C-alpha cells in the first residue's frame, strides 16, 4: 500500500503514531510508559495499570513484533478503508505491548501465529484540508520473506 | 439449607426472538413482562423494583426503562437501566438479586429487550471515525475469530470443532418455539457457508434479533407464598478484564475466575452442573467457555464438543435452547433468556429439549468489557 507522494502526511490518530521530523526519518508507534515501574502500554494512559502511578509518560514503542493472533476479514465492514479480504492481527511488540492493526503488503495465506512483522504506514484517506491521512499497519518482516 | 433472604426465581417470560418490524421496543418488553407475571401468578403491583437491560443503538436512548415499566403500572417503584453490552440483563439480574438479598425489596422484575439492525454489528456505532473503524478492526466476529486462531495454534483445535457448535445449536433450537432459527443444518453446510472471518463461516455467527425477556425474582420468604419449590438463584458473580503479566485484559473478562467465585458462593463445583447456557455469539464462545468454566481441561473443548459432550444427552448439556446462534441474540434480552431456559430446565418444563433430572444450572453471559456467571438450583 503506497503512500501518496504529494501533499502533507497527517496521522489518522496522532495519539498512536509520531511522524518523522526529517524527510528520511521513520514514523514510530507511540504508547505510554510508567516512569515509576517501567511498564509499557500500547494505548495512551494517564494512570499505570501495574503500579497505579499517576503521570504516565508518552514513549515510542518497538516497530517490530510477532503475530500473537490474527484473522482474515472477508465481509466488508462499513466505514473501513481496507477492502475485504484483508488480514488483521494482534501483534506482540518486541518490547511487550500487544497492538491491534491490519497486516498489509503480506499475502493473506502467509499470515500465521508467530509471523515476525514490522510497522509500516498506509493511506487512510484524506482529511478536510486535503492532506493524506496515514495510519500504522504491520507487514511481514522482509528478512522473513527471503 | 435455605434462608429467608435467599433469592428465588418466581417467574420467567419471553417474547419470541426474530424480526418483528411491526412491533415496538415497548411491545416486545410488555409481552415478556406479562408472560413472566402470568408464570409467577402475581400482579404487577406486587413488584417492588424494576430493572431494564438494553444496549440501544436505535430508538430512544434515554429513559427507556422507566417508560417500559410505566406502561405496566405506576405504583412508584425504583426503576434502573443497566447497560453491559450483550451482558446487560444478566448484570441487571445480579443487581436485582443483591437488592433482595439485602432486604431492600422482596420482589424485582428484570426486563431485557432489544431491537436491532440487520447486518454486521459495528462496535462504536455506525459512522465511527476512530482508527479501529477506519482500519477495519471493529468487526465483532473478528474478535472471536482471533481467539479461535490462538486456540487452534495452542491446542490444535480444528475448524470442524467450532462448526459443530452451530450444528448442535440449530438442532436444539428446533424444539424451542421462541427461537429465531428453527431449522437443522449439517456440518458440511456450516463449513461450506460463506467465510466471514477465518475460521468462522456465516453459520457460526449469531444473527441480529428483536426480542425480550423478563425474569421475576423474590426473596425465599415471599416466594413461599406462591410456590412450594421455586428455582433458587444460588449464586452470582461478575467481572471485567484484568491486567496481568504485563498485558491489558482483552475482551470480556476473566470468566474462569468469575465462575470459581460463583461456584464457591453456591458451594458446588463444575461437576455438579447439569445444564448450562454460555455466550455463543460466535461458535468459539462455547468451546472456550466450557474450558474456562472447568468442565474440561484447556485445549480439550474442541474434541469434547465434536464428540457430543455438550449435546442435551451429553455430559455437560450446553445451550439447550439453541443459544445465541439459533435462539437469536437481541443483545439486552439475552441474559434473561438464558436464565429463562435454565429455569425451565430445572422445573422440568423444557419438553423435547429437557435434560433428564437437571438439578443445577449455570448461565455465562458476556458483553464487551464484562462477564457474568449465575448459578441456579432446583
Measured CA distances, A99 to A70, A96, B253, B274 (Å): 11, 10, 18, 40
Q: Indicate the class that CATH gives domain B7-118+206-377.
A: alpha beta
Which are the contacts of B213, defined by CB distance < 8 A and separation ≥ 6? B12, B13, B14, B15, B32, B89, B111, B112, B113, B333, B334, B335, B336, B337, B339, B340
What per-residue confidence (pLDDT) applies to B126? Answer: 54
Region class of B158: left (phi > 0), else alpha (psi between -120 and 50), else beta:
beta
Which one-letter DSSP state was computed for residue B358? -
CA dihedral B311, B315, B316, B318 (to 10 degrees): 0
Active-site pick, B31, B86, B205, B279: B86
Phi, psi of B202, deg, nearest 5 = -55, -45
- Nearest CA to CA, how far is A142 from chain B (Å)? 23
Pairing, β A86-93 against β A98-103: antiparallel
Burial of A57 (0-12, 13-18, 19+ CB in 10 A): exposed
Residue contact A102–B147, C-beta within 8 A:
no
Q: Where are the beta strands (DSSP E) in chain B?
A: 7-18, 50-53, 79-82, 107-114, 195-197, 200-201, 210-219, 231-239, 275-277, 360-367, 370-377
| B197 included as an active-site residue | no
Phi, psi of B177, deg, nearest 5 = -65, -15
Sign of CA dihedral B152, B154, B156, B162: negative
Instruction: For residue B146, list chain A residues with Cβ-Cβ distance below 8 A.
Output: 69-71, 88-90
What per-residue confidence (pLDDT) applies to B61? Answer: 66
| Domain parsing of chain A, residue ranges | 9-145
What per-residue confidence (pLDDT) applies to A146? Answer: 43
What per-residue confidence (pLDDT) applies to B124? Answer: 57
Task: Answer yes or no: are the C-beta atoms of B142 and A103 closer than 8 Å.
Answer: no
Which are the contacts of B311, defined by CB distance < 8 A and separation ≥ 6? B168, B317
Rounded Cα–Cα distance for residues B32 and A8 (Å): 57
Residue contact B135–A135, C-beta within 8 A:
yes
Instruction: For residue B119, give the C-alpha cell.
Output: 447486518
What per-residue confidence (pLDDT) applies to A9? Answer: 87
pLDDT in tens, chain A (146 residues): 455 445 688 999 888 999 888 877 888 999 999 999 999 999 889 999 999 999 999 999 999 999 999 999 999 998 899 999 999 999 999 999 999 999 999 999 999 999 999 999 999 988 888 999 999 999 999 864 44
| Domain parsing of chain B, residue ranges | 7-118+206-377
Instruction: For residue A135, list chain B residues with Cβ-Cβ distance below 8 A.
Output: 131, 134-135
Rounded Cα–Cα distance for residues B321 and B55 (Å): 23
Kind plus residue range of the DSSP H or E element containing B204: none
Question: Which residue from A13, A41, A70 is facing B248, i.e. has the nearest CB?
Answer: A41
What's the angle, vertex CA B324, arms to CA B202 and CA B145, rounded to 5?
Answer: 45
Residue contact B153–A113, C-beta within 8 A:
yes
Residue at grid coordinates 468454566: B293
Query: What residues of B are in the A interface, CB distance below 8 Å?
Result: 120, 122, 126-139, 142, 145-150, 153, 194-198, 200, 243, 246-248, 250
N-term to C-term CA, chain A: 20
What per-residue confidence (pLDDT) applies to B58? Answer: 59
- Nearest CA to CA, how far is A101 from chain B (Å)? 7
The interface pTM score, or ipTM, of the predicted complex is 0.91
What's the angle, vertex CA B291, arms to CA B287 and CA B293, rounded to 5?
Answer: 115
| B86 included as an active-site residue | yes
Pick from B117, B127, B136 the residue to mutate for testing the A interface (most A CBs within 10 Å): B136
What per-residue confidence (pLDDT) applies to B284? Answer: 98
Nearest C-alpha in B relative to A95: B246
**Alpha-carbon B299 to chain mean position:** 24
Residue at grid coordinates 413472566: B36
pLDDT in tens, chain B (378 residues): 578 899 999 999 999 999 999 999 999 999 999 999 999 999 999 999 999 999 986 566 678 899 999 999 999 999 999 999 999 999 999 999 999 999 999 999 999 999 988 777 665 555 567 899 999 998 999 999 999 999 999 999 999 999 999 999 999 999 999 999 999 999 999 999 999 999 999 999 999 999 999 999 999 999 999 998 999 999 999 999 999 877 877 667 799 999 999 999 999 999 999 999 999 999 999 999 999 999 999 999 999 999 999 999 999 999 999 999 999 999 999 999 999 999 999 999 999 999 999 999 999 999 988 999 999 999
Active-site pick, B31, B151, B279, B329: B329
pLDDT digits (tens, 9 = 90+) for A73-86: 999 998 899 999 99
Residue contact B145–A124, C-beta within 8 A:
no
Q: Which long-range contacts (CB under 8 A, 24 or more apart) does B117-122 make?
A: B117/B57, B117/B58, B117/B208, B118/B19, B118/B208, B119/B208, B120/A75, B120/A77, B120/A78, B121/B208, B122/A77, B122/A78, B122/A79
Instruction: For residue A125, list chain B residues with Cβ-Cβ distance below 8 A.
Output: 134
Instruction: For residue A120, give the C-alpha cell.
Output: 509500516
Which are the contacts of B219, defined by CB distance < 8 A and separation ≥ 6? B4, B5, B6, B7, B8, B100, B101, B103, B106, B107
Residue contact B247–A49, C-beta within 8 A:
no
Burial of B116 (0-12, 13-18, 19+ CB in 10 A): buried
Which are the contacts of B191, defined by CB distance < 8 A and separation ≥ 6? B159, B160, B163, B201
What per-residue confidence (pLDDT) applies to A4? Answer: 47
Instruction: For residue A101, list chain B residues with Cβ-Cβ distance below 8 A.
Output: 135, 137
| Cβ count near A73 (within 10 Å) | 26
Amino acid at each position: 500500500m503506497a503512500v501518496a507522494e504529494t501533499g502533507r502526511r497527517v496521522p489518522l490518530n496522532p495519539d498512536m503514531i509520531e511522524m518523522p521530523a526529517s524527510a528520511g526519518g521513520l514514523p514510530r508507534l507511540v504508547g505510554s510508559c510508567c516512569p515509576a515501574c517501567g511498564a509499557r502500554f500500547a494505548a495512551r494512559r494517564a494512570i499505570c495499570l501495574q503500579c497505579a502511578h499517576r503521570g504516565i509518560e508518552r514513549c515510542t514503542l518497538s516497530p517490530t513484533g510477532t503475530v500473537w493472533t490474527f484473522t482474515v476479514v472477508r465481509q466488508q465492514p462499513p466505514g473501513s478503508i481496507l477492502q475485504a479480504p484483508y488480514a488483521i492481527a494482534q501483534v506482540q511488540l518486541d518490547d511487550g505491548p500487544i497492538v491491534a492493526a491490519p497486516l498489509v503488503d503480506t499475502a493473506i495465506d502467509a499470515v500465521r501465529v508467530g509471523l515476525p512483522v514490522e510497522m509500516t504506514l498506509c493511506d487512510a484517506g484524506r482529511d478536510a484540508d486535503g492532506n493524506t491521512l496515514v495510519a500504522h499497519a504491520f507487514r511481514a518482516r522482509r528478512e522473513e520473506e527471503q | 439449607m435455605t434462608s429467608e433472604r435467599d433469592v428465588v426465581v418466581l417467574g420467567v417470560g419471553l417474547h419470541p426472538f426474530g424480526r418483528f418490524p411491526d412491533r415496538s421496543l415497548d411491545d416486545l418488553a410488555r409481552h415478556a413482562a406479562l408472560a413472566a407475571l402470568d408464570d409467577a401468578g402475581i400482579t404487577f403491583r406486587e413488584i417492588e423494583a424494576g430493572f431494564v437491560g438494553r444496549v440501544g443503538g436505535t430508538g430512544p436512548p434515554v429513559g427507556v426503562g422507566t417508560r417500559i415499566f410505566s406502561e405496566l403500572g405506576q405504583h412508584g417503584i425504583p426503576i434502573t437501566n443497566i447497560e453491559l453490552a450483550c451482558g446487560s440483563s444478566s448484570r441487571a439480574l445480579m443487581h436485582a438479586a443483591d437488592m433482595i438479598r439485602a432486604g431492600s425489596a422482596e420482589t424485582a422484575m428484570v426486563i431485557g429487550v432489544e431491537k436491532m439492525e440487520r447486518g454486521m454489528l459495528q462496535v462504536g456505532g455506525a459512522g465511527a471515525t476512530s482508527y479501529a473503524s477506519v482500519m477495519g478492526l471493529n468487526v465483532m466476529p473478528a474478535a472471536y475469530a482471533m481467539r479461535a486462531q490462538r486456540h487452534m495454534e495452542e491446542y490444535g483445535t480444528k475448524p470442524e470443532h467450532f462448526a459443530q457448535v452451530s450444528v448442535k445449536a440449530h438442532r436444539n433450537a428446533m424444539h424451542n418455539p421462541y427461537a429465531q432459527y428453527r431449522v437443522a443444518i449439517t456440518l458440511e453446510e456450516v463449513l461450506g457457508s460463506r467465510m466471514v472471518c477465518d475460521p468462522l463461516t456465516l453459520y457460526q455467527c449469531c444473527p441480529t434479533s428483536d426480542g425480550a425477556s423478563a425474569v421475576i425474582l423474590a426473596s425465599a420468604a415471599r416466594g413461599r407464598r406462591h410456590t412450594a419449590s421455586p428455582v433458587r438463584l444460588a449464586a452470582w458473580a461478575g467481572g471485567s478484564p484484568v491486567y496481568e503479566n504485563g498485558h491489558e485484559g482483552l475482551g470480556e473478562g476473566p470468566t474462569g475466575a468469575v465462575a470459581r467465585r460463583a461456584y464457591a458462593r453456591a458451594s458446588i463445583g463444575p461437576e455438579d452442573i447439569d445444564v448450562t447456557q454460555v455466550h455463543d455469539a460466535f461458535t468459539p464462545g462455547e468451546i472456550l467457555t466450557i474450558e474456562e468454566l472447568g468442565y474440561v481441561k484447556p485445549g480439550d473443548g474442541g474434541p469434547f464438543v465434536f464428540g457430543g459432550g455438550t449435546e442435551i444427552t451429553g455430559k455437560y448439556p450446553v445451550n439447550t435452547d439453541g443459544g445465541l446462534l439459533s435462539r437469536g441474540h437481541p443483545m439486552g434480552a439475552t441474559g434473561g433468556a438464558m436464565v429463562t431456559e435454565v429455569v425451565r430446565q430445572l422445573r422440568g418444563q423444557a419438553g423435547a429439549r429437557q435434560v433428564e433430572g437437571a438439578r443445577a444450572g449455570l448461565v455465562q453471559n458476556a458483553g464487551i468489557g464484562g462477564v457474568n456467571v449465575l448459578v441456579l438450583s432446583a
